[in-house]
Each structure stands twice: as C-alpha cells, then as structure tokens.
Amino acid sequence: MSEITPDLVRHLASLARILVTDEEVEKLAGELGVIVDSVAKVNEATSGDVLPTSHPIPMTNVMRDDEIRPSLTQEQALSGAPDSEEGRFKVAAILDEE
C-alpha cells in the first residue's frame, strides 16, 4: 500500500513550485502511488556493500584554463526574458508586504 497521500502530493507540489488543483491532487496521488509501489523494488536488489553510480562513464575533475572567451551580450541574455528593465531581469516582489 502506498504512502502517497493527497496531503503529501500537495506538499511535494509546493516544494516543486507547481500550483495544483484538488482534482489534480487526487489524480496524482493515485498515479504516483502505483508508480512508487512499482519502483520501490529497487530496495530488493541492493545490499549495503554495493557502491552507488552517479555517472555512467567514470570521470575525474574536468579543468580548463581561466581564459576570457566570448559570451552572450546583455541584450542576448535578456532576449527571452518575460520582462526586463534597465538591462536586468524584472520579477514580482520576493517578499510579501506584511
């Protein structure tokens, strides 16, 4: 039985900054429950002494020379912005008024 409750879905959606309707919450709780029950079997496969793999091809730290190279102009960087002002990204208030 899954532990994915509607309240948990609401909490996760808020962490992921996605507004969800009550209807979506109910639907997602059911769907995610089925998926989580299915993927939870990864626990059966592993024991403590297996090392995790984060990347398929082993790599050591990748360094490059600290050289100036071409980059986007301010205009290019702002070209896709929904709103900008005086060469900066413009956003709504960060904090509530109170």
- Binding to another protein by CB under 8 A, coded x per residue (else -) over 14-53, reads xxxxxxx---x---x--xx-xxx-xxxxxxxxx---xxxx
Q: Are 25 and 9 in contact (CB under 8 A)?
A: yes
User: How many Cβ atoms are within 10 Å of 9's Cβ, its own excluded?
Assistant: 21
Q: Does 55 bind another protein (CB under 8 A)?
A: yes
User: How many Cβ atoms are within 10 Å of 36's Cβ, its own excluded?
Assistant: 12
Half-sphere exposure of 13 (CA within 13 A, CB side): 18
Q: Does 68 bind another protein (CB under 8 A)?
A: no
Number of residues that bind another protein (CB under 8 A): 55
Interacting residues with another protein (CB under 8 A): 4, 8-9, 12-20, 24, 28, 31-32, 34-36, 38-46, 50-57, 59, 62, 64, 72, 76-77, 79-83, 89, 91-97
